[in-house]
Structure 1
Amino acid sequence: MDNRYDKGKLARDAQENQYFDVPWIKDLAEIIVADLVKWSNDEIYTSLGGRLECELPFDEAVNASAIVSPSNAANPRIEIFMGLVREIYRDSFTFPLLANQISNSPDYGDPLKSEFSNTPAFFEGGVPDIPESQYTEIYKSIKNRIEEEGVYSDIPENALACRFLMFEVMLTWVFFHELSHLVQRHYLFRSGTATSNNFEVVYHEVSSDEPIGEDCLASQAREVLADVEGSELTIRYLLRKKRFHFSSIYLLFCAQYCMFNRFYKAHESNLKLVKGDHPHPVIRNEMTSQFVSEWLVLCLGNMEGAVERDQIIRSVAYLNVKSSLISGVFWGNRYEKMDGSLTSFMKLSTGEYVQERDEYYALLKRSMLEQLKTIKRHHMHKHNFTDFMGHIAFLS
C-alpha cells in the first residue's frame, strides 16, 4: 500500500467501533442471512438431498469464505466474519449523510444534471428518495421504536431508510458471491484439491495461498464469475422482495464500489496483473458494473410497461456513473489524503489507463470463457446466469 491514506482518518475506524453494538448488528445480519439461506436450500440444495449453512463468526477479519467437501458438495457452509459485516454496516451507516454533503458541496455542482436530468432514474442529492414500498423489513420493524425513543432524531428518515437498504443489498451481494463459488463448483478447477476433505475459497483481497502463472489468472477469472453471478442473484433477490427500483440499483452500485475500494487498500497505485486469487479491485469493479449494467438493461427492457430502450440505457448509465463519482469521493473523504483531485482508484478507472485495463480484461475474459464451458455443465442451480450470457455483450 502506498502513501495515499490518511493515518488520522484510518484511526477514526477504531474510534467509531466503540459506538457500534456488534451483537445488535449481528442480529440484523442474521435476519437477512436466514432468509438467503432458506431461499438457497429451497431453490438448490434440498432437491440435491443436502443443506447449506451460514455462520457469522465473531472474528475481526474483514473476510468471508465458502467451504465445501468435494465428496459432499450438497452440504456446504458459508462464513461471513463479523469484521466484514461491521465494515458493511459502517459504510451503510455513514454513506447516506456524507453522500448528501458531497452533492451539496460547491465543488460538486452536479456535473451529470445537464446530460441526464430527463432520464427516469435522475435524482437530486447524493442518495435517492426511498419510497415506503422499498423499506426493508428490518427498517420497518425498528422504525416505530426509533421514533418513540427519539433515536437518530437529527437524521432525515430517508437517510435512515437508505442505511438499512444499503446494508441489506451489500450483505446480500457478499452472501451470493460466496454461494456462487459453491454452485459454480469452483473446487473442480483446483489442481490437487479435488479429493481433499475440505476446500476453502476466501472472499478477501489478501490470500495466504497465492497461485502463480495460469493458475493465478484462472483463479482471478473465477472471482469475477462469482462477482457476476452474485450480482445477478442479488438483482433477482430485489425482484423477489419487490425492491427492484432505481434507488436499490443505485445503492447496489455504491455498495460494490465501496467494497472494491476496501479491497484496494492492499494494492499499489497501478494496474499490474496481481499475484493472487483475486484480480485487481479496479478491474473487478469495472467488470462487475459492466455486467450489472448490461443485465439491468436486458431485465428492464423485458418488464411490462418498460420505457424506451434508449431511456433505459441512459438511466442505467446515469446510476453507474453517479454511484462511481459519489462513492469515490465518499471513500476518499473517509480514508485518503484529499487534495481536490480524483482518488487513486478513480484515476485508474479513467481513460488514461484504458489500455492497461483492456489488456487485463482480455486475459481474464479468455480464462472466463474457457472455464464457463465446465461451469455450465456442472452448475448446481438449474436456472442460472449462464442461461442468458449469450444475450448480453459482457464476454463478447
Structure 2
Amino acid sequence: MSDNSVPLSTSLEMNKLDDLKLLRLQEELKYVNAELVEQLARVVLDGLVKWSNTHIFSKLGGELTIEIPLGPPNAGVGYKSLEPLRPHMVIYLAMITDIYRDALAFPVVCRRLVDETETLEAFHQIPAWQGFPFAFKTAMPTLQAGHVHGDLSAFCEVMAEQHERQTESILDTNDVRCRFVMFELMLVWTFFHELGHVVQQHYRLRNKTDYLDAAETFLEFPEETPSTDQANAGSIGDAPPDLPAQARELMADGESIDLTLKYIHVTGRLCFPLLYLLYCSVGCMFQRFYQNYTENLNIVGRWHPHPALREEVSEAFLSDTIRDHLVATKKVPNDEASVMTVLYASIRANLLTGLFRAHRIEQRDDGDGLPSYMRLLTEEHRPGMLSYQDTLMPYIEAQMDEVRQWHLLPENRMDDWLEMLRRQQSQRIQSSAEP
C-alpha cells in the first residue's frame, strides 16, 4: 500500500516560534495554580471515567483507570496487566495546564482581535453572512450559566462574580463562562481520543505477533531525552513514516468527535454556542501539536499525521454530523441552511484560532500575511492536503475492516466516518476526470 504522491519531508525547518512570546508563556506559569487546575480537571475526567466503565468496561468485566502524573505535556493509554479490558489512561498535568492556559487566554485574545483590528468586521462583510441568524459580532458567543458543566458551574460563577466586581478587569461573566466551556471541551476531546484507541483496540494492530505489551504506554509524544530532544518530540526523523499508525490517529480522532458530540448532547447542551466553541477547542488542540512540524504537508517519519490534516478530517466529520442533526431535529428549515451554519461556525473558528496561535507563539516576519498554520488550510495547499489523505486511505480501509470486528462500542459511527472519507475521495476522482 505504498503511494509516493506526497513527498517525504527532508527539511528540518520547523514553523518559527517567537522567543519573546515563549518567555511570556513561561511567565504565565507563575500565575497558574496547579492544584486548582487538577481539581477542575478531575471534575470532568472522573465523570468520563465513570461513564466509560458503566457503559463499556464493567459490562465486559474490565475497568478503565486514569492518572494525572507530573512530567512533560503528554497523554496516552496503556495496560497495567495482560488484560486488554483494563486500560490505564494518563494525561499529564502539564498538558492539562497548557489546555487551561489556552482556555484562559482565548477570550482575551479574541476580544483584542475584535477591538483592535478589523479582522472580524471584514469577515462579517461577506455577503453570505448578511442576515444569517447565528452570526455574532462579539468576540465570543453568548453563554448562559447552564452552558457550563454542572459540576464546574459553581467555580465558574464565583470567578465570574469576582471579575465583575473588579473595575480594572477586562473580562465579563460571558468571557469566564467561555473559559470554562473551552477547558472542558478540550479535556473531553483529549479523553475521548485516547479512549478511541482503546475501544477500537488498536493494540491488536501494532504488532500482529505479540500485540499486548503490559509495560508499554502509547503516548502522543514519546518521552524526551536530552540527546534526542527534537526527534523524540515526534517532529522529524530519518525513519520511513508509519502510515498505518498515522491512519489509526485519524480513526481515533473520528471516534473522539463522535463521542464528544454525544457527550454534549447527553448533558443537554447541544446548541450553536457550544458547537462553535467545540470547533475552536478542536482547532486549539491540533495547533498545539503543530509546533513540532514543518511548514508544509509533506509526510514525515513519524506515527502522527500532520495536525492540519487531522483538523481537516475531524472538522469535516464534525460538520457532517452537525448538519445531519440540524436537519433531523428541524432546527433549520432545509439542508442549505445547515450547510451555511457549519460553514459559518467552522470558518469563523478557524480564523480566530489561527490568529490566536500566531498571537501566542508564532514569529511573524510579515504581520499582514496569514499565519503559517492557516496557510496550510488554504486552497494553495489543497492539492497537498488531498494527496496526503489519499495516501492514508488504503491503510484506513484495511484497518477499519479489522476494527469493525472487535470495536467495544457496538453503536459507534465509524462506518459513517469512513463513508464520509470515501465520498470525498470519489468526488475528487470524479472532479479530476471531468474535462
Task: State the Cα deviation string for residues 339-364 of structure 1 (Å, max 9, x = none).
Answer: 12111111111111111111101012
Residue 142 (structure 2) aligns with: 129
Instruction: Give the secondary-structure state (helix, strand or coil) at the position aligned to 2:89.
Output: strand
Alignment partners' CA distance in 2, 1:336 and 1:195: 40
Q: Does 1:27 align with 2:53?
A: no
Alignment partners' CA distance in 1, 2:194 and 2:326: 26
Contact 1:177/1:227 (CA < 8 Å) preserved in 2? yes
CA RMSD for the aligned pairs? 2.3
Q: Does 1:91 align with 2:102?
A: yes
Q: CA offset at residue 97 of structure 1? A: 1.6
* Corresponding letter in the other structure for 1:269: E
Alignment partners' CA distance in 2, 1:305 and 1:260: 30
Q: Does 1:378 align with 2:406?
A: yes
CA 1:331–1:208 in structure 2 vs 1: closer, same or farther (change >3 Å)? Answer: closer
Residue segments in structure 1 that go unaligned for 5+ positions in a row: none
Within 5 A, what are the aligned runs for 1:255-294?
A: 255-294=281-320
Residue 167 (structure 1) aligns with: 183
Q: CA offset at residue 133 of structure 1? A: 2.8
Contact 2:53/2:64 (CA < 8 Å) preserved in 1? yes
Alignment partners' CA distance in 1, 2:144 and 2:333: 20
Residue 131 (structure 2) aligns with: 118
Alignment partners' CA distance in 1, 2:182 and 2:15: 30
Residue segments in structure 2 that go unaligned for 5+ positions in a row: 1-12, 223-232, 424-435
Alignment partners' CA distance in 2, 1:276 and 1:380: 27
Structure 1, 14-23 or 103-112: larger mean CA deviation:
103-112
CA 1:160–1:71 in structure 2 vs 1: closer, same or farther (change >3 Å)? Answer: same
Q: Does 1:2 align with 2:11?
A: no
Structure 1, 99-108 or 219-228: larger mean CA deviation:
99-108
Instruction: Give the secondary-structure state (helix, strand or coil) at the position aligned to 2:123.
Output: coil
Within 5 A, what are the aligned runs for 1:1-396?
A: 1-2=13-14, 4-59=16-71, 61-68=72-79, 71-108=82-119, 109-113=121-125, 114-146=127-159, 153=166, 154=169, 155-191=171-207, 192-204=209-221, 206-207=233-234, 213=240, 216-303=242-329, 305-338=331-364, 339-389=367-417, 393-396=420-423
Contact 2:358/2:371 (CA < 8 Å) preserved in 1? yes
Using the size of structure 2 for normalisation, the TM-score is 0.85
Instruction: Give the secondary-structure state (helix, strand or coil) at the position aligned to 1:77.
Output: strand
Contact 1:51/1:74 (CA < 8 Å) preserved in 2? yes
Q: CA offset at residue 304 of structure 1? A: 5.1
CA 1:75–1:209 in structure 2 vs 1: closer, same or farther (change >3 Å)? Answer: farther
Structure 1, 194-203 or 322-331: larger mean CA deviation:
194-203
Structure 1, 293-302 or 79-88: larger mean CA deviation:
293-302
Structure with the greater alpha carbon radius of gyration: 2
Structure 1, 320-329 or 330-339: larger mean CA deviation:
330-339
Structure 1, 240-249 or 105-114: larger mean CA deviation:
105-114
Task: State the Cα deviation string for residues 9-44 of structure 1 (Å, max 9, x = none).
Answer: 011111000000001100000010011001101110
CA 1:24–1:260 in structure 2 vs 1: closer, same or farther (change >3 Å)? Answer: same
